Amino acid sequence: MLAHPTRAVALPFALAFIGCQAGGAASTPASPSPSLTQSDEPTAGPSLRRFAVADDGRELAILCEGEGSPTVILEDGIPSETGGIARFASGPLWDDLVAETRVCAYDRAGYGQADPAPNEPRSADDVVDDLHALLAAAGEEGPFVLVGSSGGGMIVSYYAAREPDGVAGVVLLDVPAPTDKLTVEEAPEVAWDHPANPEHLDIVPEFETRFARNPEPMEAPLVVVTATGGQSNVEDQSFWLQVSPDARQVELEGGHNIDFDNPTGVIEQILAAVEAAR
């Protein structure tokens, strides 16, 4: 296992994954589940909804609250210890963002209140397919500002590249650059069928190697937020600036869970992306 990962050196996302499993600084802060009602229709108040995202009836859960456009979609890291709903809905960003616009968080396959993931290697396209189907089924219409924490940044950046018409902005929260040097043999925890990976993501070929060798360009404006004590440094995370013609990077004080360590700074960056999209 890795030593404590909060060093100002480049730490690839897959190694950050291992740090999470080792109980290092990459672990998602535990948050109590909010008190929710269930509804099939979008509402201004908090309402947990579940929708099928595949032909086999597999369902994911989504929670949205607030009014206004664009809608902020909050994407948790990989792994997602509590699921995105528990992390964000009771976290320090939620209320301030909801006061300004509509905000959604969701549980990916295998986490929280979502159904288990298919028992097979899953690609970045599979995860983006799930999110796209969930938003459509929930009646959540763009434009969206996508906010991805840690490995969730890979998901939202690829979503923006593949679904450009619905994305008005992307914010990455301490997302290390991918690497094509990692193998499953040296990092078995990232194998698709490892117990630490209930989402069954094929992380090495489908996230690390794929995006390291072929960064997917997006049209949407991009903000790269790098934590001073996060999983990697400014130079490493500047990798992401190449994927958007309108990209900027900001360094904020805090650790890898920068939304918990410096919520004021993170909220400022997200709302700036929201205002730019209006």
Residue 93 falls within a domain, yes or no? yes
- What local confidence, expressed as pLDDT, does residue 42 receive? 60
Q: Are 183 and 110 in contact (CB under 8 A)?
A: no
More confident position, 154 or 22 = 154
Residue 101 falls within a domain, yes or no? yes
Residue 33 falls within a domain, yes or no? no
- What local confidence, expressed as pLDDT, does residue 17 receive? 58
Q: Are 106 and 64 in contact (CB under 8 A)?
A: no
CA dihedral 26, 30, 36, 41 (to 10 degrees): 10
Q: Find where tokens 């290390």 sit.
A: 176
Boundaries of domain holding 192: 13-26+62-277
User: Average per-residue pLDDT in the chain?
Assistant: 88
- What local confidence, expressed as pLDDT, does residue 194 receive? 96
pLDDT band for position 14 (50/70/90)? Answer: low
Residue 185 falls within a domain, yes or no? yes
Question: pTM above 0.85?
Answer: yes
CB atoms within 10 A of CB 106: 31
157: domain CATH number?
3.40.50.1820
Give the total number of structural domains in the chain: 1
Residue 46 falls within a domain, yes or no? no
Mean pLDDT of 86-110: 97
Pinpoint the alpha helices (H) of the chain: 13-21, 84-89, 94-98, 124-138, 152-162, 203, 210-213, 234-237, 258-261, 263-277
Whether the pLDDT of residue 53 is over 70: the answer is yes
Measured distance CA(232)–CA(226) in Å, rounded:
8
Residue 7 falls within a domain, yes or no? no
- What local confidence, expressed as pLDDT, does residue 54 receive? 94
* CA pseudo-torsion sign 134, 137, 138, 143: positive
- Reduced DSSP (H G I as helix, E B as strand, rest coil) percent helix, strand, coil of the chain, to 5: 35, 20, 45
Q: Are 201 and 142 in contact (CB under 8 A)?
A: no
Q: Are 26 and 256 in contact (CB under 8 A)?
A: yes
- What local confidence, expressed as pLDDT, does residue 6 receive? 30
- DSSP string over 212-270: HHSPPP-SS-EEEEEEEESSS-HHHHGGGGGG-SSEEEEEEEEESSHHHH-HHHHHHHH
Measured distance CA(264)–CA(90) in Å, rounded:
16
Residue 137 falls within a domain, yes or no? yes
pLDDT per residue over 130-170, tens digit each?
A: 999 999 999 999 999 999 999 999 999 999 999 999 999 99
Residue 170 falls within a domain, yes or no? yes
Q: Find where tokens 């086999």 sit.
A: 56
- Which region holds residue 79: left if phi is over 0, alpha if psi is between -120 and 50, else beta? beta
- What local confidence, expressed as pLDDT, does residue 46 receive? 73
Measured distance CA(220)–CA(201) in Å, rounded:
26
pLDDT band for position 31 (50/70/90)? Answer: very low
pLDDT per residue over 199-223, tens digit each?
A: 999 999 999 999 999 999 999 999 9
